[in-house]
Amino acid sequence: MTMASSNESPLKTALSQLRRAVEQLGLSENDWNTLSTPRRLMEVAVPLRRDNGHVEMYKGYRVQYSTTRGPAKGGIRFHQDIDLDETIALAMLMTWKCALTNLPYGGAKGGVAVDPKTLSLAENERLTRRYTSEILPIIGPERDIPAPDVGTDERNMAWIMDTYSVNAGYSVPGVVTGKPIVLGGSLGRTSATGDGVAISVREALKLRGIDPTKATVAIQGFGKVGYWAAVALEKQGLKVVAVSDVNGGVTGYKNVAEVKAHLDKTGSVVGTPGTSPLTNTELLHLAVDVLVPAALADSITEASAPGIQAKIVVEGANAPTTPQGDAIMNDKGILVVPDILANSGGVIVSYFEWVQDKQKYFWSAAEVIENLNEIMMRATKEVAEVASSRGVTWREAANMISVERVAQAHRLRGLYP
């Protein structure tokens, strides 16, 4: 699933970034072989009885890219364009993200190739439960812990938790994260990825000496990541000048709450009263301080990167930038906070949720935010230090730190038998 007209494959991009990290770290060919190979791939057929009685078949996937540093962890996406290759790429990114933030997890990703907008609520529930039942043998709180991603939310997580628990014979809240609070979800999880994006923006602005209360930001994608990032950034005093969704963008509103109200009413940000429309490409090219791509992969490409005027790009989405787009932004001197750092807030608070579920002891919202801040600040500091000491970009630094951690875990565990 890619945006724009680019024919980059997210897997090719992810592998080329890994190759670079392996070379920069001076790792061996053995390391490359173990690091570049996904460990478990599951493709399942998911039959769905539609409300009208027709039975349709959908393809479902679950990829456990790595379990070297702990159970696999990663989101579940419902989107018509997903395929195995993209799911592998996203599972690889999760592996580096968990290593960079030092969470005791490997990396995973999964999903169903379906447009959830075409499903009734009852159909969505049946599809979610059947998909869960197909991947049941490989998930579990000690094996692989799914979470929401594009096209899924806490309702889907509740159905997954229930399907798994019914099969186990007792409640197993720790099998998924991003659950409703009453089922063992964590305070702060809903907004966590957006809050983390805002932490990354705050730190990058500090580094560039820009006063947040005078800074402007444009956000592409107004879903779970983009919306909550917008809310947090407004709280930090930034002016969120434009937001967009799959239908296009808007500018000229008073605050993002107005846009959200229109979205809730109509299903799109487009047409918010009193706003002017703009295209997604126009949004990318606005003269703002900060640009946050928070929609899908391959948004910043050879074609779209040259027009970017922002000084800082904070990747809310996974893999929003192609290698060519990345090179162009580097030439322009743009500070790019890479996805595995910038959007790690979601998996960090997912980790907190899993810990709380295991301990049956729940934290306050303030504790969640404080711990999220601490982990993201530590990771940001490490990335900035490696970038400056090795003379590499933040993306390269982040990849080097995480790939080294996974390689080290491989070496210490050794090869069985």
Residues near ligand NAD (CB under 6 A) are: 3, 148-151, 193, 220-226, 244-246, 280, 294-296, 316-318, 343, 346
Min. distance of Cβ 111 from ligand NAD in angstroms? 10
Sequential DSSP letters for 171-191: --GGG-SS--GGGTPPTTSTT
Catalytic residue selected from 73, 109, 224, 311: 109
Min. distance of Cβ 209 from ligand NAD in angstroms? 28
Min. distance of Cβ 115 from ligand NAD in angstroms? 11
If the CB atoms of residues 174 and 316 are measured against ligand NAD, the closer one turns out to be 316
The residue behind tokens 């594009």 is 150
State the virtual CA torsion across 166, 167, 173, 177 in degrees, nearest 10: -110
73 is catalytic: no
Amino acid letter for position 125: E
Min. distance of Cβ 161 from ligand NAD in angstroms? 17
How far is 180 from 197, CA to CA, in rounded Å?
A: 22
Min. distance of Cβ 243 from ligand NAD in angstroms? 9
Amino acid letter for position 146: P
Closest residue to ligand NAD: CB criterion? 223
Q: How far is CA 116 from the centre of its chain?
A: 18
* φ, ψ of residue 291 in degrees (nearest 5): -120, 130
If the CB atoms of residues 38 and 146 are measured against ligand NAD, the closer one turns out to be 146
How far is 300 from 2, CA to CA, in rounded Å?
A: 11
Beta bridge partners of 333: none
Say if CB 265 and CB 228 are below 8 A apart: no
The catalytic site residues sit at: 109
